[in-house]
Amino acid sequence: MLELEITKQFRKDISKIRFSNKHYAKYILFLGYLLEENEMPVEASDHSLEGAWSEYREFHVSGDLLVIYKISEGVLYLARIGTHSQLFK
């Protein structure tokens, strides 16, 4: 099982998110997959990023809500959460 590290920016981002019960449950479920080092479900659209975020990956909680993260040396780092327009201006 991976350790979890949450960035200060992620904490700020998530405080602004208004999850529905369904989307919060999916968010927790997908984090569980990552922490247990299991393959993500297809519906999460998990993929690597390019450019300034090339060391990171993202998965979609729902529609346009996504989580940017990376896994390094046994640690899951949660970097950002928000919509495409919020994160990739």
State the catalytic residue, choosing from 23, 47, 60, 84: 84
State whether the Cα torsion 43-48-53-56 is positive or negative: positive
> Residue 79 sits in which domain range?
3-87
CATH number of domain containing 28: 3.30.2310.20
Rounded Cα gap, residues 14 and 67, in angstroms: 10
Has residue 89 got a pLDDT over 90?
no
Cα–Cα distance for residue pair 38/2, rounded to 1 Å: 11
> How many structural domains does the chain have?
1
Whether 60 is a known active-site residue: answer no
- Record the tokens describing residue 25, joined without a space: 């449950």
What confidence tens digit (pLDDT) does each residue in 22-40 have?
999 999 999 999 999 999 9
pTM for this entry: 0.94
